[in-house]
Structure 1
């Protein structure tokens, strides 16, 4: 009878310790590093974005394109660097477009792929931050 009582007390203590540990774990995860990644507000996006004015250039297929971009960076410092590197960015865009044919820039998937290619190329020259997204603003293919 004493063994049953002792066993019951040990079992209750074990369950209580387990519950306290579980609650402590949940509290620690909630209030420390398990923060959710918040998307930036539109104002934050605009503060960290650079406009690339309209560029007109030839394509590999002897067509030409008139296109402009908005490039979103991850910080104001990166934006400032990108503004200083605008001539390099324009050069990258022109070189990349010179390799494209008109059909390479038609359709949603093609434009998204081109945006990603530009993002990768521009990030190669960045030192203070990185490009988060490249947006094609005004494409006119002729």
Structure 2
């Protein structure tokens, strides 16, 4: 390149240091960028962070019975692992809550929404790490 070897070595060192600096800056920005906490989760994130309860059938106070199933969306994978370990407590909360209701209390969209909110609050009381974002009713039969 140049006739002077010292200039060639200095240019190579400067280019190498510049490349290392640029790569370091790009990697630093990539790994330290926080995701936007206000953005809506994608469907893949919801599915990956959801616990699916077993189908539960129980009697209601009004001598009817309900058969239902829930998807419980949590805020992190750590919370999902905890809720999977606490599955018996989750089912107990669902059974106790449902058995204390009458069929008119559960009728319609407002009844289901009220039940989902009540279950979310009760499950959050049990969890030590993280919280339940939303409870989704995926199966629902009252007879």
Number of the residue aligned with 2:132: 131
Deviation string, structure 1 residues 8-60 (Cα, Å, up to 9, x no partner) = xxxxxxxxxxxxxxxxxxxxxxxxx9x67111111111111000010000001
TM-score (normalised: structure 2):
0.74
The runs of 5 or more residues in structure 1 that have no matched partner are: 1-32
Relative to structure 1, the CA distance from residue 87 to residue 63 in structure 2 (aligned partners, 3 Å threshold; closer, same or farther) is same
- In the TM superposition, what are the counterparts of 1:29-48 in structure 2 within 5 Å? 37-48=38-49
Q: Which runs of 4+ in 1 moved over 4 A?
A: none
Number of the residue aligned with 2:71: 70
Helix, strand or coil for the counterpart of 2:54? strand
Deviation string, structure 1 residues 73-100 (Cα, Å, up to 9, x no partner) = 0000000100000000000000001110
Relative to structure 1, the CA distance from residue 36 to residue 55 in structure 2 (aligned partners, 3 Å threshold; closer, same or farther) is closer
Q: Does 1:106 align with 2:103?
A: no
**In structure 1, distance between residues paired with 2:124 and 2:37:** 25
**In structure 1, distance between residues paired with 2:47 and 2:64:** 32
Number of the residue aligned with 1:52: 53
